[in-house]
């Protein structure tokens, strides 16, 4: 004798409820994963936008710096030849980035021309107006807005002096 045994109605209901619960849990997990992936993608996009904006700003800053250097270079008069007999002073500029610049100036040139010269060479990464030229000992600060000539501020013919660019 063969009997066909099937699950009871209660068992079928229980199994169906369990399958539905598992399906809901799987759907919830899938939605959570999608939401997490979407948030991660948005974060990556935001980071890329920030980096692009920073790169754009750096490029604009570099272009502006080059423009300023070109403008300042046009303001600087030509350097005296090495065999010149005119009274002059030789100045060394120590830049914040460790570089050094050297140049001969006429004594009748204005203090502003020293600033223009440093700005035309990049001023060691400092923007025009954000530094001042300083002799270390005895300490003497040279203001860029001074209309005085190098001779009027006390520099003499044949002197060799070292200036520091001091961030303000």
Decide: helix, strand or coil at residue 94. Answer: strand
Instruction: Report residue 24 as tokens.
Output: 């809901």
- Looking at residue 47, its pLDDT comes to 92
Instruction: Report the pLDDT averaged over residues 145-160.
Output: 85
* Global model pTM greater than 0.75: no
Q: How far is CA 118 from CA 93, 131, 138, in A?
A: 8, 10, 22
- Residue closest to 113 by CA, chosen among 67, 66, 163: 163
pLDDT digits (tens, 9 = 90+) for 109-124: 888 899 989 888 888 8
Instruction: Report the pLDDT averaged over residues 130-136.
Output: 88
- Looking at residue 32, its pLDDT comes to 92
- Looking at residue 5, its pLDDT comes to 64
- Looking at residue 71, its pLDDT comes to 78
Instruction: Report the pLDDT averaged over residues 65-71.
Output: 78
Does 147 score more than 90 pLDDT?
no
C-beta separation of 155 from 161 below 8 A: yes
Q: Of residues 93 and 71, which shows the higher confidence score?
A: 93
Average pLDDT value for the chain: 85
Does 80 score more than 70 pLDDT?
yes
- Looking at residue 2, its pLDDT comes to 64
């Amino acid at each position: 004798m063969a009997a066909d045994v099937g699950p009871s109605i209660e068992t079928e209901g229980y199994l169906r409820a369990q399958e539905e619960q598992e399906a809901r849990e799987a759907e919830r997990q899938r939605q959570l994963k999608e939401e997490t992936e979407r948030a991660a993608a948005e974060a990556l996009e935001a980071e890329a936008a920030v980096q692009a904006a920073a790169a754009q700003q750096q490029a604009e800053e570099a272009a502006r710096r080059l423009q300023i250097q070109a403008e300042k270079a046009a303001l600087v008069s030509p350097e005296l030849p090495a065999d010149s007999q005119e009274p002059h002073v030789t100045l060394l500029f120590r830049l914040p980035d460790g570089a050094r610049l050297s140049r001969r100036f006429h004594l009748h040139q204005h203090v502003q021309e020293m600033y223009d010269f440093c700005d035309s060479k990049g001023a060691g990464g400092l923007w025009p107006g954000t530094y001042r030229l300083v002799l270390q000992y005895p300490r003497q600060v040279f203001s860029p807005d001074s209309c005085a000539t190098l001779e009027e501020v006390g520099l003499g013919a044949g002197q060799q002096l070292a200036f520091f660019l001091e961030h303000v």
